[in-house]
Structure 1
């Protein structure tokens, strides 16, 4: 038996309806926004999801460096181990995102093991990758290594439990809400803990896959992993997993608090993405108007837009985004630097550009203005 989906309380249904409304508004907003304006945001959100999920496991690469790594820029301020974990998760996340519209898709144990190999293959054979663990495993209490917070099912139970999970993913409650099913898939997989390592990231990836398969939003806008990676949310994440899952495999426990926690995450992530899209669009429009009045080529707005939103831009990323030759990109970035709109930081290989002294201050003020996220359960 697996952990069971709870009946939703009236407040849960109210919050879920609010999430659905926001997600459909986001879909309309994205479809109405020129692709060029959202391309960078899609990559940024993917990088933030990867960085957030890895941060939960103790791998520290900030989202801007993660985005550079996704672009093939290896000269970032991170250890080789953290780079390797980021790139491995990129491979898994890219595959997860690519599955969102596969017509004859089915969940299988082979699919999950293949995703695990993408995530953990660089550790094999020291740590098994793409195969169920062969030994018992437990999770320590944070800060108390001698105390087990959770003892996972014995290794010989894993094949049957994973069979049951795959059957549930493919057949059970097909009319259930995708966001609730995705949250339950996360909980069940992390509590089975079928692999020697990487179970948390795999469970979060499975949740992202279910949401992406729901088809409301593009995969890049579907993940809550960056929200979970915020320190205050990570602490609550561990607390709720422990509270709901128990000290050992106990599928008869009440899972309602877990669903409420995930509905909060979905709601606040939707608020954040909605704000980011609006901010990105406003920034692009403002910079385009500035460029028209100051003799700046329209394509150079791409570099200025990236510098404003992410805080920095690399010449190679700008070159790829605008499909320029190396000579054209160098000339454009040099012109922006000489105009004081960008400022170079670092040496040749690691060099990037930040907003310069003459960057329009009102644009920077607008993009740096913080958002206050609303807790729908406190409304």
Structure 2
């Protein structure tokens, strides 16, 4: 499914005009560039270093590299023990390969927070900890989670974030319980738009650009209004600069979400994030997890299952999440699947740039569906028998 989507501004929706995007920023939160303050250069260097495995004095490193621009504060281990009731199991709200996340309350600032306790035996070492603190302290956007503080006492590595009351996108999309209320179409498009805008900020406005490298549903957090914020930046890399076309790095991330060229060669570009966005967007449309071994063998990999269906518009309706109960605009479904298909192109040069994806999804997020009325027949292709039975 070849496309020139990534080579020019969005032409998929003729009525949709491309908005002018803000100019690049230099890792701002008032970073000064003079002989005594080279935060950008220093961070670039640390981003490409591998962790030597030796214990580092993280607080000193952050102070040196941040050059006074770090907005998150140092929080003592004792204060975090008090905040989480000694990391009591009843306060645990998440668990992964990185460690555990606890809900806590900081009396000193009267804040409810999420405390991520990194597993000292896990893959996320000092480098990942340092990168996350620097990225979330030096960059600022409504669709990036806010890092309130960190702790690096002795062997302890903890990150303290704003508490996101609605958990992650994964919690509301995949493996729902019978009592859970599924996200409606409009909510899904709103979340996709915000997540794409977070990536756009990292790719197009940070200088040098940031490649997120771990875009997945569990890393998209939701506030009380279901506004999405990207989290977990430990695997992020600074993107290619100058004449370089890619960054070569050890392949890391989550199986199923990695772009094929990155998984095969370790060559990383911003288009690698676009592929991962396509996978998550497909999850949002279909309600299927990227890898599900409980399904028949030919349906276990979401992208492999979707590829033949994406080539036949007659089968698009088969891909819609059954939990939507047919309450979505047919045209929007077609257009959303077209965007997902273009993001999932095997060749990275044929994928869209993220700003074009944002433009497309902004258009989809503006469209509303009247769920109490049947879909108008004029939106249904007369050549598609399956469509004619929709609603």
Q: Is TM-score (shorter-chain normalized) higher than 0.5? A: no
Q: 1 or 2, which has the higher helix percentage?
A: 1
Give TM class, smaller chain.
under 0.3
> TM-score, with normalisation over the residues of structure 2?
0.25
> What is the TM-score normalised by the length of structure 1?
0.25
Higher strand share: 2
